[in-house]
Amino acid sequence: MDIKKFCFGSVMNTEAVVLDIKESNKNDMPYLKIGFQNELTYELKKKDIIYGLGENVRGINKKGWIYESFCSDEFEHTEDRKSIYAAHNFLILQGSEIFGVFIDCPGKVIFDLGYTKGDLMCIKVPENNFDLYIIQGNSLKEIAKNFRELVGKSYIAPKWAFGYQQSRWGYKNKEDILNVVEGFKKNDIPIDGVCLDIDYMERFKDFTIDKEKFGDFENFVKNLKSQGIRLIPIIDAGVKIEKGYDVYDEGVENGYFCVDKNNKPFVAAVWPGKVHFPDFLNEDVRAWFGEKYKYLIDKGIEGFWNDMNEPAIFYTEKSLKQVVDKAYESKDKNLDVHSFFELNDSFLSISNRMEDYKSFYHRVHGKIIRHDKVHNLYGYNMTRAAAEAFEKIAPNKRFLIFSRSSAIGMHRYGGIWTGDNKAWWSSLELNIKMMPNLNICGFIYSGADTGGFACDCTEDLLIRWNEFSMFTPLYRNHSANDTRNQEPYSFSPSTTSALRTIIENRYAYIPYIYSEYMKACMENECYFKPMTFEYEDDNLIEDQLLVGDSLMIAPVYKQNAFGRYVYLPEEMVFWNMVSYQNRSFQVLPKGHHYIEVELEATPIFIRKDKILVLGKHSSCVDYLDNKELDLIAFVDERACYNYYDDDGITKEYNNQDFQFKISIEKKDNDYEIDLYAIENCIVKKLNLTIIDTQGKEFKKELFI
Ligand code: GLC
């Protein structure tokens, strides 16, 4: 493996990297030039592609814009933004040469990728303290894999977390949750989890339960679990200032909160009003805060989502005073255009101000560090606190945890969702383009708010979005409290029926999705890949993705589209799937095609000499019965598949533990099939459909 490390200044150990790489001499640095103030530059050619930077706006190819890694509570994910919630400082350049660059830095990093000058990539680290890793390899896939070796294995979610999750800010009490569950049951729609948003807490205090609205919580959790449904509560970063509240009292007593310049706990305001921020960079604080999850775990909870952990700041006493004073000053005045906009802007920029991030401090290993310099490690370490606690509480159990803010390193501890998108077609498009870049950066268990968080969703958008989300490891429909309801049964009967079928499709695909996900995590591969990762000589197609090793998808993400163009880099089997039970396959030649895709259809493409594995749906993951699987193989010469499965609950996973390995080889007018299965294989029967390049189907049953 070829990784080179170069050190600039002295940087705090972010613990993003798990390999011990010796520092190289900067004079031997390949590809990049070191300029004024350690700016790193590279001359871009017209056709260069830049992959990576994980959670960000714009396309798979990041070239042509300027990105800033500074985790931001940014709910506008429009093209003009430079950062959203995460700091994923890894990119791969593909041009006349290919290489990867990882900037290991806890503070702001600017990636000017041909924005200031069209032919120049320029990476700047304002603090000037960082480690740079150059990652080499023979292919894009190999570079991505080498990078993942450097930063360690990705978090593995429990299998139930591959089921559908329903969420909404505004499920106010038990009754609301029961109504949701009833809605799913009545309409026969599979479901595995319901997320609890801040409404379940007492006055928005972490690790509390509103006893009036969510009384007898333990039995509530138990009862739902007996129906195969898990509740997934939210935890926020800010701890409410309230005497008598144990988390607040203990935090103050032990000095566990970040402090201001007078060494007093720093005060900011979020959902509960004024809060303190736990100093997650400090390991004692992590151990203390992590332990708190036990309160909910003891009540039967097995999954969480960590939010507002950039950390988001609505206002501070100072920023509030500034705007209020300004408003008073303006009272009764005849404001001219400049003073009006100044006043207006002061309100609009009251939240998440750099000035506030510069006014509090962490205490790490006896050192005092100003927050802005280590800002990107905050959400990472909040989620690490939870994961480290889970490890102590139940060492062999997998918990579900996904975070809003993240940085590379956190990928070992949890998954992410991509924050407050909108019920816009452009948010769906962004979701599609973001997934491969998240995977490249190690965030495999990830997904977006399906249907959109803010704004009102339409039936067609929800259907199209589900057709994409049925492939994302985290498959969650989430929306904000003031929007139109978007549960799958909230629209017309025909929409309910279409969504039921798509969600059933997801469950039938779980054998493939889970097998491919687990292999990606264990072998440091990507689950979602850009097309060029397999077809390196082709142009990058931004709106088609590879899912696992066997599939290509081409989602429809435009309103009122009855179809779309696709490019096939090689011959593939096309399945215009409405329901997974109804199968009709067509071999399409390499090249450009226009395919008709009715609203209810999900276009699936099986790659040449690859195999798709399908099961049957059930009402939840716990009830899936995958003793009998269907294999759909597109065979020109020889197709192989290694099927991975396990209990989905414990950490006893092993990348050699394939349930079965199958190889199907074309021999004149016949096929030679080799099947190897482990003793006690979960699968007992395989129904094979083999499709040849003429589109001829051959069926066979195999018993294990
Ligand atoms: C944040 C989260 C969102 C959540 C809301 C209320 O905006 O990103 O998912 O619903 O807070 O907790």
Q: Give buried/exposed letters for 577-615 (b at 16+ CB in 10 A, else e).
A: bbbbeeeebebbeeeebebebebbbbbbbbbbbbbbbbb
How far does residue 85's CA lie from ligand 1's centre (Å)? 12
Residue in 73, 306, 307 to alter for ligand 1 test, most ligand atoms within 8 A of Cβ: 307
How far does residue 415's CA lie from ligand 1's centre (Å)? 16
Evaluate: CB of 549 within 6 angstroms of ligand 1: no
Atom of ligand 1 nearest to the CA of 419: 8
Percent of the chain with pLDDT over 70: 100
pTM: 0.98
- CA 624, distance to chain mean position in Å, is 25
**Cα–Cα nearest to 507, from 623, 367, 415, 406:** 623
Residue 89, CA atoms < 13 Å, CB-side half-sphere:
33
The span from the CA of 431 to the CA of 421, in Å, is: 9
Evaluate: CB of 419 within 6 angstroms of ligand 1: yes
Q: Tell me which residue has tokens 């041909």.
A: 114
**Residue whose CA lies nearest to ligand 1 atom number 7:** 420
Question: What pLDDT, on the 0 to 100 scale, is given for residue 654?
Answer: 81
How far does residue 430's CA lie from ligand 1's centre (Å)? 19
How far does residue 532's CA lie from ligand 1's centre (Å)? 35
Angle at 329 between CA 328 and CA 332, to 5 degrees: 80
The span from the CA of 436 to the CA of 545, in Å, is: 8
Cis before 311? omega within 30: yes
Q: Tell me which residue has tokens 């997998």.
A: 398
Evaluate: CB of 169 within 6 angstroms of ligand 1: yes
Residue in 72, 240, 382, 453 to alter for ligand 1 test, most ligand atoms within 8 A of Cβ: 453
Question: What pLDDT, on the 0 to 100 scale, is given for residue 669?
Answer: 86
Alpha helix (H) residue ranges in 615-672: none
**Cα–Cα nearest to 104, from 141, 48, 63, 147:** 147
Evaluate: CB of 199 within 6 angstroms of ligand 1: no
The span from the CA of 633 to the CA of 673, in Å, is: 12
Burial (Cβ within 10 Å: 0-12, 13-18, ≥19) of residue 16:
buried
**8 contact partners, CB below 8 Å, separation of at least 6:** 38, 125, 128, 129, 130, 131, 132
Residue in 196, 420, 455 to alter for ligand 1 test, most ligand atoms within 8 A of Cβ: 420
Residue 160 DSSP symbol: G
Evaluate: CB of 168 within 6 angstroms of ligand 1: no
- Residue ranges, the chain, pLDDT below 70: 1
The span from the CA of 699 to the CA of 512, in Å, is: 20
The values of phi and psi at residue 542, to 5°, are -75, -25
Atom of ligand 1 nearest to the CA of 305: 9
The span from the CA of 51 to the CA of 379, in Å, is: 24
Q: Tell me which residue has tokens 């509480």.
A: 393
Q: How many angstroms separate the most distant Cα atoms in the chain? A: 90
Evaluate: CB of 5 within 6 angstroms of ligand 1: no
Question: What pLDDT, on the 0 to 100 scale, is given for residue 28?
Answer: 94
DSSP letters along 363-393, please?
Answer: EETTEEEEHHHHGGGHHHHHHHHHHHHHHHH
Evaluate: CB of 412 within 6 angstroms of ligand 1: no
**Cα–Cα nearest to 69, from 103, 42, 32:** 103
Evaluate: CB of 184 within 6 angstroms of ligand 1: no
> Which residues partner with 610 through β-bridges?
634
What are the sequence ranges of the domains in the chain?
Answer: 2-151
**230: which 2 tokens?**
């898990």
Helix, strand or coil, per DSSP, at residue 505: helix
Question: What pLDDT, on the 0 to 100 scale, is given for residue 657?
Answer: 81
Please count the other Cβ atoms lying within 10 Å of the Cβ belonging to residue 526: 26
Question: What pLDDT, on the 0 to 100 scale, is given for residue 1?
Answer: 65
**Cα–Cα nearest to 206, from 285, 284, 294:** 294
Atom of ligand 1 nearest to the CA of 481: 10
User: Is residue 658 a contact partner of residue 552, using CB atoms and an 8 Å limit?
Assistant: no
**Residue whose CA lies nearest to ligand 1 atom number 4:** 169
Residue 656: left (phi > 0), alpha (psi -120 to 50), or beta?
alpha
How far does residue 137's CA lie from ligand 1's centre (Å)? 40
Q: Which CATH class is domain 2-151?
A: mainly beta
Question: What pLDDT, on the 0 to 100 scale, is given for residue 482?
Answer: 95
Helix, strand or coil, per DSSP, at residue 503: helix
Q: Tell me: the pLDDT tens digits for 133-156?
A: 999 999 999 999 999 999 999 999
The span from the CA of 443 to the CA of 436, in Å, is: 9
Alpha helix (H) residue ranges in 441-488: 459-469
**86 contact partners, CB below 8 Å, separation of at least 6:** 54, 55, 56, 71, 379, 405, 406, 407, 416
Q: Tell me which residue has tokens 């591959």.
A: 162
How far does residue 192's CA lie from ligand 1's centre (Å)? 20
How far does residue 66's CA lie from ligand 1's centre (Å)? 27
